[in-house]
Chain A
Amino acid sequence: MTDPSPSNLFKKPAFVQGMLAGLPFILIIVPFGLLFGVVASEAGLSDLEAMAMTTLVIAGAAQFTAIQLMVENAPVAVVILTALAVNMRMAMYSASMVPHVGAAKFSTRMLIGYFLVDQTYGLAIKRYQEEPPIGLPEKLQYFFGSVLVICPFWYVFSYLGTQVGEAIPESYALDFAVPITFIALVAPSLRSLPHLAAAVSSVVFALLFAGFPFSSGLMLAACISMVIGAQVETWLERRA
């Protein structure tokens, strides 16, 4: 980004496209953020502590895991390591962003690292792999456009959750609104055989390895599935 001033960014089509792509996720972030605020304050965290966690970690599943373990009186190291294990998949997200944004400035890459949540990553990588290809400035604009729409809602609604202090009704089925966002992020790519093979393998092995400790089952399933995707692609190329 040669000119990163905000007024200019809104004139960049890729930035606006990133924002638009992020809009539907607000529907999920709002109740999920509220729920975190409620759970954190019910567990006894002060507003400041809840907000520090939500802004420093920005990872719903890991935050809920941490709070639950703290309530159960787990030792500090166990809380930290278990919640971090929940986030290990993000190292793979990070690796898959390298070919696209690795050339960005160090400080820009730090910001990307901070904001690399499931939804911003999923939207960005989806766009980066679609036609027509876009250049580095547009890739960054798209990413930060989606960040601008998604992340502030997480902070604000986490805070409101700490203030309302009332549980979200069960009928909202929040536990399942979140998985649907993940399905929506990958389903459009399943029309290609290598992607489909990788996805099926991911499901099968993740279920088989579900009992493995510290999310290692998911990591193992993901590594196997990447190889399967790449091998099917190679096999199709040779046949063509």
Chain B
Amino acid sequence: MIDMTQSQIWTVILLLGLGTFLVRFSFIGLLGNRDLPPYLLKLLKYVPVAVMPGLVAPMVVWPQATGGEPDLARLLAALAALVLGAAMRSLLWAFFGGLITLYAMLAILG
């Protein structure tokens, strides 16, 4: 149970909300319509592919649900999503392929 005063709880909620907004708004807000140097534009193209795989990798290799132990069902599900998404160039194939593999493997492997 949380053992904080009302004002402490609301401080967390409001500042976390404001801070998160400022993080998200930062560059779209400050830079706006300014022309960016070509090399920066080139770098920015790679943001999704530079952030999201790194975000996911520890969750795949050391899943929290298994106490950080690598888990075959989760590894196979990630692999299925990755391979199907790349091979079919399709978000939907990756998404449903990954989920179906996950639940099928969890059912089979227990």
A residues near B (Cβ < 8 Å) are 21, 24, 27, 43-45, 49, 52-53, 56-59, 62, 66-67, 70-71, 73, 76, 79-80, 83-84, 87-99, 101-103, 106, 109-110, 112-114, 116, 118, 121-122, 125-126, 129, 170-171, 173, 175-191, 194-195, 198-203, 205-207, 210, 218, 221-230, 233-234
Contacts and interface: CB of A to CB of B under 8 A. Distances in A.
A101 B34 CA distance: 11
A227 B58 CA distance: 22
Interface in B12-49: 12-21, 23-29, 31-34, 36, 39, 41-49
Given A67-B2, A129-B45, 9 more contacts: A57-B13, A95-B44, A126-B91, A176-B59, A180-B98, A181-B95, A183-B94, A183-B98, A190-B82
Contact of A66 (B3, B16, B36, B74): B16
B57 to A, nearest CB: 4
Given A56-B17, A99-B41, A93 B78 contact: no
B28 A94 contact: yes
What are the 6 tightest A-B residue pairs by CB atom distance, in nearest-first order? A187-B85, A56-B17, A113-B25, A206-B54, A229-B46, A225-B50
Contacts of A226: 43-44, 46-47, 50
B17 A96 contact: no
Contact of B52 (A98, A101, A175, A185): A185
A80 B81 contact: no
Contacts of B86: 187-188, 190-191
B46 A230 contact: yes
Contacts of A218: 51, 54-55
A102 B89 contact: no
B52 A182 contact: yes
A94 B26 contact: yes
B29 to A, nearest CB: 6
Nearest to A195: B49
B99 to A, nearest CB: 6
A111 to B, nearest CB: 10
A188 B90 contact: yes
Contacts of B9: 45, 49, 70
Contacts of A116: 24-25, 28
Contacts of B56: 179, 182-183
B42 A199 contact: no
B1 interface: yes
